[in-house]
Structure 1
Amino acid sequence: MSVIAVLALDGVPGHQLTAPALAFATAARHHPTVAYDLRIRTGPGFRATGGPGSFHVEADRGLEGLAGLGGGDTVLLPGHAGFREAPAPEVVDALRAAVAGGCRIGAVGTGTFTLAATGLLDGRRAATSRRHTAELAGLHPRIEVDPEGAAVADGPFHSAAGVLGGIDLCLHLITLDHGEPVAIETERQVFLQLHSPAVGLASDASADVAFNAVTRPGSAVEPTTRWMEANLHHPLTLTEIAAHAGVGVRSLTRRFRAETGLTPLQYLLRARIQRAQRLLERTDDPVERIAARTGLGTPANLRHHFQRLTGTSPSTYRGAFRSMVADLTWPERRAGADGDSSGHGASGG
C-alpha cells in the first residue's frame, strides 16, 4: 500500500488538506486494486489552517513521521501562509531525506515555493498557482516554471497549480500509479460529489456496485474486458465471454474476481452503465437510443440499473453533470481573462 504523507505547515489552506483525502479515497472506493494510506504530518510551529474558516488539526506525528518513507511513497506539500519565507531547516532536511530515500514529492500551488527553497528543484521544471508563476520564476531563476500551472513531472518531483485544493495533482499521481482509466473515473466521481453528493455512485453494500469496471493495463483479463467493452451493444452471455477468453466459466469468474473485484456479468453491467454515463455527458441521445447503444435494451431496464448502481436517474444525472460543467467552466473563462485561474486566496493557495 502506497503512503501519501501530507506535510501541513502553519496556515495551510484547509481545502488543500481535505482534497487529497477526497481524491485518493474516491479512487480506492471504486477500484479494488487501488489502496492508499493517507497521513497528515505537521511541520514546526503548526497551529491551524489558514482562513477563511480556519480549523485546528490533530496530527499524531510531526516531521519524524516522514522517516522511513521510501519507494512508492509520496510526500505532498500544500501551500501555506508563509510560503515566501525560507522554510525551517528541519523541513528542508526532512524533504531532502525523503527524496534520498526514494520518495516522490508533490507540491500543491504555492507549496512549490517551499520545495524550491530547498534547492531540490534547481535545473528542473515545476508549476505553481498561475498568479504566482512570475514570482516563483523571479525568486528561483534556475527553475523552469510552467506558465499554465498544469501538472508537471520532473524526476521525483511533481507540482501543479492546486486547482480545487490540489485535485489536479492528486489525479496526476493516481494516473501514474494506476493508469488513465482509473484517474478518469475518479475525476468523474470527485466532481459529481463536489457538485451534488446525491449524484455520485451509490454507496450500496451489494457486491455488484463495489467497484468500477476498470481493468489494470497488462491484466490477464484485459483482452476479454476490451472485447466486452467493444461489444456492449450486443447481448453477451457468460458462456460467450468464457469462450472468448478460452477458459471455462468457473476459471473466468475466479480471474475476474481476482483482477477486477467483480464477476464477469457484474463487470459487464457496470461497463454498460459507465458507457451510459458517458453518453449522457457527451451526447444529446434520448434514453431509448442510449439503452440500445449500451446493450441494456429498453429505457425501463436502463433506468432500473442506472438508479441501482448510481443512486439517481439518467435524466437527473445528465442535468447535474451539465450544470456542474457550466459552474466549473465559467469561472475558468472569467479567470483566464483576469490572468488568474487559481481561485485561491493570498494565504498560500
Structure 2
Amino acid sequence: MSVPHRVAVLALDGVVALDLGTPAQVFGAARTDDGVPLYLVATCTPGGQPVRSSAGFQVLPDHGLELLDTTDTVIVPGIHSGPALLDGTVAVEVADALRAAYDRGARVMSICTGAFTLAAAGLLDGRPATTHWAYAPRFRRLHPRVRLDPDVLFVDDGRLLTSAGVAAGIDLCLHVVRTDHGSAAANRAARRCVVPPWRDGGQAQYIERPVPRGTDHGTAATREWARQRLHEPVALREMAAHARMSVRTFTRHFRSETGLSPAQWLLQQRTEYARVLLETTDLSVDRIARDTGFGTTAALRQHFHARVGVAPTAYRRTFRRPSPVPADLGVVAPGRPDVSELSTATTA
C-alpha cells in the first residue's frame, strides 16, 4: 500500500481560521474506494510556538518549521495581520524554510492572503498568482514582479499554486486532489465536505460592483438548460432566447453572475465533461469530441490542452482508472451530461 501524501500547513501569526482548517478538512476527506486516507495533514509554526488566529483563539501546533523539511506539500493559509501584509516582508527563517522546501521538490501552495507570504519569500517573482480580490491593489504595490490575476479562483503554476480569498482554498485543495488522484477521488471528498466539486467562473463574480442582480432575471436556469445540451451546438442567441433576454442583456447578466462570457463558460463546461469521460469511460477521443460538443478531435485537443495543459490521450493515460465507475459518481451515457458533476467548474 502506498504511503499517504504528507501535507504541512504553516500557520503564521494572524492566521485566518477558515484557511487554517481547510486543508485538513478537504485532504482528510480524500480517501480511496476502500476508505484509506490519501493524505496526512499536520500543522506547524515558527519554533513550534502558539500563534494568534483571526477568530480570537490561539493555535498550538505539534511541529516547528522542521516539518517543512520532509513533507510533500506545504500550504500557507491566509493572514489577517502581520508584516507580510503591511510591508511585504516575512521572517528570514520562514522565507528560508519555504524556499528550501520548494528547492527540494515540494509543492508549495497558498490560500487567500497567504500569497503575500510566498511573494515575500521570493517564490512568486515572474510567476502568475492570485489572492483575495480586495487585497489585489496592495499586493501589486508590494510585489510588482508577480503576474497577479485577481479574477480567478486559483492559479496552478506547476509546483506553485495560489488561491483567491477564503472559500477558494477549498476549490484549490479539491483541484489538487483531482490532479493527484482523479475526479472520482475529488468528487468523493467534495461530497464528504458537502461542497461542489468545482465552481463556475472565477472570483470576478464576487467583486463588489454596482450591477443589480435581481433574482427574476438571472441566468441560472439557462445555464442548467445548456449543461443538458453540451453534446449539441448551443448558440448565444439560443441561450438568450431561453432566458427571455436580448443577447446584450443576457451577456451582461451572465458575466456578472459567473465572471465569464457565455462562450468561455461553454468551453469550460465541455472541457470538464471531457475530463470525466476520459477518466471514466473507454470511449474513443473522437467520440468524446462529439459527445462533448467540440465536434472534432482537433478542436477537443486544442481546447483541452489550452485549459488542462496536456493532450486528451496523455490525460487519459494518467487518470484513467481500470475499475468500474461507482454508481454514486452519476456518470451517464454519452450525449447526456451529468449535471451533478458539471454544475460547478473552476476557472484557473
Q: TM-score, normalised by structure 2?
A: 0.54
Please give the alpha-carbon distance, in whole angstroms, between the structure 2 residues aligned to 1:122 and 1:21: 28
Q: Distance in 2 between matches of 1:93 and 1:134?
A: 26
2:151 pairs with 1:96: no
Kindly indicate whether residue 118 of structure 2 is the aligned counterpart of residue 115 of structure 1: yes
| 1:9 counterpart letter in structure 2 | L
Equivalence for 1:84: 85
Q: Separation in 2 of the partners of 1:33 and 1:217?
A: 25
The Cα shift of 1:60 comes to: 2.3
Post-superposition, which runs of at least 4 consecutive aligned residues in structure 1 deviate over 4 A? 29-34, 216-219, 221-224
Distance 1:141 1:38, change over 3 A: same
Deviation at 1:163, TM superposition (A): 3.6
The CA RMSD measured in Å over matched residues stands at: 3.9
Cα offsets for 1:76-117 (capped at 9, x unmatched): 001122131411100010001001110010011000001101
Which segment drifts farther, 118-127 or 154-163?
Answer: 154-163
Question: CA 1:149 to 1:133, structure 2 compared with 1: closer, same or farther past 3 Å?
Answer: farther
2:223 corresponds to? none
Q: Distance in 1 between matches of 2:28 and 2:277?
A: 21
| Paired position in structure 2 for 1:125 | 128
- Say which SS state the counterpart of residue 166 (structure 1) adopts: helix
- Closer, same or farther in 2 for the Cα pair 1:218/1:117, shift >3 Å? same
Give, in angstroms, the shift of residue 59 of structure 1: 1.9
Aligned to 2:16: 13
The amino acid of 2:57's aligned partner reads F
Label 1:33 to 1:260 Cα distance change in 2 as closer, same or farther (>3 A).
farther
Rounded to whole Å, the distance in 1 between the matches of 2:30 and 2:167 is 17
CA contact (8 A) 2:45 2:51 kept: no
Instruction: Flag the 1:48–1:155 CA change in 2: closer, same or farther, 3 A.
Output: same
- Superposed CA offset, 1:4-63 (max 9, x none): 1000111211211211111011112656576111110112585334233x2233322211
Query: What CA distance in whole angstroms lies between the structure 1 residues aligned with 2:74 and 2:32?
Result: 22
Structure having greater relative contact order (Cα 8 Å, sep ≥ 6): 1
- Calculate percent identity across the aligned residue pairs: 37
Secondary structure of the corresponding residue to residue 330 of structure 2: helix
* One-letter amino acid of the counterpart of residue 151, structure 1: F
Q: Deviations along 1:249-290, whole A, 9 cap, x unmatched?
A: xxxxxxxxxx989xx8xx67xx3344299x9x959xxxxxxx
Asked if 2 retains the 8 angstrom alpha-carbon contact of 1:44 and 1:88, the reply is: no
The CA distance in 1 between the partners of 2:124 and 2:114, in whole Å, is 12
Structure 2 unaligned regions, length at least 5: 197-275, 284-319
2:229 is equivalent to residue 174 of structure 1: no
In 2 relative to 1, CA 192–78 (structure 1 residues): closer, same or farther, beyond 3 Å? closer
| Structure-2 separation of matches of 1:14 and 1:165 | 14
Amino acid at match of 2:97: A
Task: Answer with 1 or 2: which has the greater Rg.
Answer: 1
1:137 partnered with 2:192:
no
Cα offset for 1:165?
6.9
CA distance in 2, matches of 1:30, 1:17: 27
1:27 & 1:146 partners in 2: Cα distance? 29
* Distance across 2 between alignment mates of 1:150 and 1:50: 23
Conserved? CA contact 1:109–1:159, under 8 Å: yes
Q: Distance in 1 between matches of 2:145 and 2:99?
A: 18
SS in 2 for 1:152: strand
Secondary structure at the aligned position of 1:174 is classed as helix
- Which residues of 2 match residues 44-63 of structure 1 at below 5 A? 44=47, 46-52=49-55, 54-63=56-65
The answer for the alignment partner of 1:290 in structure 2 is none
Is 1:31–1:260's contact at 8 Å kept on the other side of the alignment?
A: no
Normalising by the residue count of structure 1, what TM-score does the alignment of the two structures yield? 0.54
Cα 1:217–1:174, aligned 2, differ >3 Å: closer, same or farther? Answer: farther
The residue identity in structure 1 corresponding to 2:109 is G
For structure 1, list consecutive stretches of 5 or more residues without a partner in the other structure: 194-215, 225-258, 284-324, 329-349
Distance 1:217 1:61 in 2: 42
Q: Is the aligned partner of 1:272 residue 2:322?
A: no
1:130–1:38: structure 2 CA closer, same or farther, 3 Å change rule?
A: same
- Give the distance between the partners of 1:18 and 1:40, measured in 2 at CA: 10
Encode CA deviations 1:279-337: one digit per residue, 9 max, x unaligned. Answer: 9x959xxxxxxxxxxxxxxxxxxxxxxxxxxxxxxxxxxxxxxxxx9xx9xxxxxxxxx
Rounded Cα–Cα distance in structure 2 between residues aligned with 1:38 and 1:111: 18
User: Which secondary structure state, in structure 2, belongs to the residue aligned with residue 64 of structure 1?
Assistant: helix
Amino acid at match of 1:275: G
Q: Deviations over 1:129-160 (max 9, x none)?
A: 11112221221111110121421122321001
- Residue 192 of structure 2 corresponds to 189
